[in-house]
Structure 1
Amino acid sequence: MQDFEKWTLDAIRSDGASLSWLEECRFEWTTVAEFAVSQIMEGKTIVLITDRERKWFEQYVLSVLNKSSNDRPIIPIVSIDSVYTHYDEVSGAKMIDMIDDMLSISYKEDYFFWYIGKGEDKRVDIAKRKDNSFLWIFDEDFQNSFVMRSYDSLLDIKLLQLFNLFNLSLSAALFGEVEVE
């Protein structure tokens, strides 16, 4: 079984020059990605949240993560919008607490947030409150997150590449090719 960091570097390099941008920041990536994969391996459900500009990406993740062609166990994942359709109307700590309570009851504390989007968007607030969230944050440095820039002209391509690497990481962990802590 290979170390997650080494496996990630090999995966990045095997993809050729298209992922060279990620090799430079692979340590930040492996820290958050390994933690997310380990939570999935523990049986936790992913509660996916994106900012409005990344709704297309949310749909992509939801449609690709559990494709039958992946030939692996189905990963438990839900969109925050499917769990609480009025999520965009949430404001204030009390309402966030109520949603968090509902999720805790529904998933018996066995869930974590995966947020993709701008750090200033109010949709991230619930995920920022949890230490175990998997955050792909734009334009803001936040602890235990993978930071990207929203003004990057290649952002959409990079999101797809990151997701592909994450999806490969999941398969590698599920099939015992890589060790996660």
Structure 2
Amino acid sequence: MEEIADFAQWSLDTIRAEGATFSWLEELRFEWTPATALALEQILNGKTIVLITDEKRKWLQEYILSSINPDRLERPPVPIVSIDSLYPHFNNISGGDMIDIIEDMVNISLKREYFFWYIGAGNNKRSDIAKRKDNSYFWIFDEDYANSFNLKSYDAHLDIKLLQVYRLFDLSLNGAMFGEVDVTS
């Protein structure tokens, strides 16, 4: 029986296997590992991902929603929805009371079995609902935050890097689902 790999080492090996274009991720793997391990563990425990992006990353939201569960499934499907599909007027909410109402609706709809995955600028109001939950997962720009993988919004290669990070996430999800890597340690 093959030994299950440690997620930090597995991530490093996977980054290196992807080639030189992924080398920038090597130095950020210490941010990547704990935040992503928590998200993967929640997925393995059956929680639904509620995906939220800032407006500039809507393209990535659509990409993730369309590619995480392809038509030719090679793994069990992952439950994922966007906050916009749950509440189409999400951009119009303001203030803590409205966020409370939306959060209550999500809690009732998903029976508290979900976590937020936010991708975007840290100072964007769309991040506020995710920042209220300790189990949220972030790919956040220009801000240090718990359970986050930090990137720079002014990086000229940000879009390419986001796609590469998603590739690593997808590979990590496969590894976790198929028992190749332990995300609980």
2:121 maps to: 118
1:25 maps to: 28
1:63 Cα deviation from its structure 2 partner: 0.5
Provide the aligned C-alpha RMSD in A: 0.8
Q: Secondary structure at the match of 2:133?
A: coil
Runs of 5+ unmatched residues, structure 1: none
Aligned residues: 181
Q: Does 1:5 align with 2:8?
A: yes
Runs of 4+ more than 2 Å apart? none
Question: CA 1:20/1:70 → structure 2, altered by over 3 Å: closer, same or farther?
Answer: farther
Give CA deviations for 1:78-137 in whole Å, capped at 9, x if unaligned.
Answer: 000000011001000011011111111111111000000001110000000111001011
Q: Secondary structure at the match of 2:76?
A: coil
d(CA) in 2 for partners of 1:110, 1:43: 7
Among all aligned residue pairs of Structure 1 and Structure 2, give the percentage whose two residues are the same amino acid: 60
TM-score normalised by structure 1 residue count = 0.98
d(CA) in 2 for partners of 1:98, 1:75: 26
1:70 Cα deviation from its structure 2 partner: 4.2
d(CA) in 1 for partners of 2:159, 2:74: 26
Runs of 5+ unmatched residues, structure 2: none
1:136 equivalent among 115, 128, 139? 139
1:180 Cα deviation from its structure 2 partner: 1.4
TM-score normalised by structure 2 residue count = 0.96
- 1:45 aligned partner, one-letter code: T
2:85 maps to: 82
- 2:47 aligned partner, one-letter code: K
Give CA deviations for 1:112-171 in whole Å, capped at 9, x if unaligned.
Answer: 000000011100000001110010111112222111101000100000000000001111
- 2:69 aligned partner, one-letter code: N
2:158 maps to: 155
